[in-house]
Amino acid sequence: MCGIIGYTNNVSNNQSVIENMLQKISHRGPDDQGYYQDSKITLGMRRLSIIDLDSGNQPLFNEDKSLILVFNGEIYNYQVLRAKLISLGHTFTTNSDSEVIIHGYEEYGNDIVNHLRGMFAFAIYNIHTKALFIARDIFGIKPLFYTIVKNELVFASEIKALFEYPGVEKKFNEQCLSSYLAFQYNPLTETFYRGIFQLLPAHYLEFTDNLKLTHYFKFNYNLDDNLKETDALNMLESTLKDSISHHRLADVEMGSFLSGGIDSSYLAANSQVKKTFSVGFEDHRCNELPLARELSQYLDIENYQKVITKDEFWHTIPTILNILDEPVADPSIIPLYHLTKLASQHVKVVLSGEGADELFGGYNIYQTPLTLAPTKIIPFFLRKGLKNILIKTNYEFKGKQYLIRAGQKIEERFIGNAFIFQNHELKKLIKPQWPIYPPQVLTNAYYRDVARKDDITKMQYIDLNFWLRGDILRKADHISMANSLEVRVPYLDKEVWAISSILPTNLRVNKKATKYIFRKMAAKSLPLQNSERKKLGFPVPLNEWIKEEQYYQPIKELFNSKSAQKYFNCDYLNYLLDEHYQGIHNNARKIWTVYIFLTWYNRNFD
């Protein structure tokens, strides 16, 4: 695990630029630093040593030194690949997983990406052809950002490093604003900084004189409706245990995150780790620490815990925004920061449960198509007409949101696990001089990919392509690496995906449970209270905190600031805030989304 940087030329003060770019991502790799430079290419890395501690330093070269590699991630099938490549005549000089990439590239060319089982973002430069090849794993576990300056490509693991390259300017990208307010993160390829892009998951980039992007993998569902429950359970169990085994490859001690939820509990119970880590809040409604403690005692493993205070939560916000580079309005980021900080004091690597919900259907919202089924007896045009009336009224009553959802096609109502500001609300919020793009403009192309699938499968597909990369994995990588901690995600494994992609819908989500077959399997190694527990996520008591004067007043001031007046209808902002403060309606997520944006904007552009 590390951070990487690079650019396709050699600037006048090259040494200083390299050092400054690497310093910006030093937290990603405090153990070592390395770089290569010539007149055509500069490549650098910061290393967090996990495998082959003594000889796995980078950049790495092939046998004749015609290829140079910098790599961020872990390759879990490297031992099998290494043996295969040696049999084909390749000579290895280290025992690291990194080296299989460069020799694999020699052997397979661009198709090396389809031979790798792991998480990765890497760059390979060919000294003879002057070609640069950059690739990212299929899920987007490891990040990669790039920009073009005077026809030269500049890239890095984090955006902040790019600003150390001469000519990369920090310019606000207004095109991202409405999408962020809908999704709670930026779902676009272009970042909040104009001209800086993310390399999307499952893509590789080729650059000589021009840039070429290739989408090398898509999540295709081939549902096997004849698959028996017992066969599915056995296949899933063996594949998951194999993935956990592969993810345990390391030359340092490993631990595991542990909440009271099923995903982390299953990993803790089946990974043979000795240490687990948990955080919670003083509010008992948002505190899973007792459950984590109980399970640790049941499994006879250590459990390190931390209670996060209100003040700690709010005081952490500036740190989080600096780490992420872009605003992400998921409140769970802050407890995640304290969790990774706690774990980093004891281990270098942890296992974490990201991806299980997207692959196996774990979010409660995935049951919505089932709960809406009774309304199908009413013609859709009538349901749609009622929906159009209801969204225009401020009158609230029990069942209102149910009726609104009943009048929407899945393609309209679901853009991912979060839908903060609806289209009609964006028009009220954003001032008319700024662009507003309905979020469905982005998701519609993905819905076409799964046009013949059921609504539950469609929802999972959208989350795999938006929510997972934009929220879940962005925060997991940046927040953990800020604390020099490697997070490994055994559920996000290509072999695990292959199994999940054939599971019939009713074995993923049904009226009885979300993540149905996964829960049945987990019950073999967990107490029922863990395997049957409903999805909570990282609960944060924002609803109550925003009503407290010490937090309400600073938010009120920010909502009437110059930056707020520049982009937003402040009367509407104040209406949302006061309505929440008075207990009329829970607008906490809307308030938080705007608050995070304005706080980030003022730190970067005001």
- Nearest 5°: phi and psi at 117? -115, 105
Q: How far apart are CA 143 and CA 407, in angstroms?
A: 38
DSSP codes of every residue in 463-528:
HHHTHIIIIIHHHHHHHHHHTT-EEE-TTS-HHHHHHHTTS-HHHHS-SS-SSHHHHHHHTTTS-H
| Alpha-carbon span 436 to 389, nearest angstrom | 23
- Supply the angle between the helices 317-324 and 333-344 in degrees, to the nearest 10: 90
Out of 2, 176, 286, 570, which one is annotated catalytic?
Answer: 2
On whether 137 is known to bind a ligand per the annotation, the reply is: no
Q: Is 12 annotated as a binding residue?
A: no
Among 504, 523, 527, which Cα is nearest to 222's?
504
The answer to whether 146 and 134 have CB atoms below 8 angstroms apart is yes
Whole-number Å distance between alpha carbons of 95 and 316: 39
Phi-psi region of 130 (alpha: psi -120 to 50; beta: other; left: phi over 0): left
Cα–Cα dist 413/458, whole Å: 12
CB 418 within 8 A of CB 183: yes
* CA-angle at 270, arms to 237 and 100, nearest 5°: 80
Rounded CA separation 283/540 (Å)? 9
64 is in an annotated binding site: no
Adjacency order of strands within the sheet including 2-7: 32-37, 42-47, 2-7, 152-156, 145-149, 196-198
449 assigned ligand-binding residue: no
The DSSP bridge pattern shows strands 60-61 and 67-75 to be antiparallel
Quote the CA–CA distance of 83 and 351 in Å, as a whole number.
27
Amino acid, res. 405:
R
Q: Which of 184, 193, 118 is nearest to 154 (CA)?
A: 193
CA distance to 85, 156, 202, 262, 523, per residue, from 70 (Å): 19, 11, 18, 36, 42
Q: Residue 215: CA atoms inside 13 Å, Cβ hemisphere, count?
A: 4
Alpha-carbon distances of 194 from 20, 82, 139, 176, 553, rounded to whole Å: 21, 41, 25, 10, 33
| Rounded CA separation 549/562 (Å) | 22
Residue 60 phi, psi dihedral angles, 5° rounding: -110, 150
Counts for the chain of helices (H) and strands (E), in that order: 30, 17
Q: How far is CA 45 from the centre of its chain?
A: 22
CA distance 245 to 79: 13
Verify whether residue 2 is a known catalytic residue.
Answer: yes
The binding site for ATP consists of: 279, 352-353
Give the residue ranges of the annotated binding site for L-glutamine: 97
**Residues with a known catalytic role:** 2
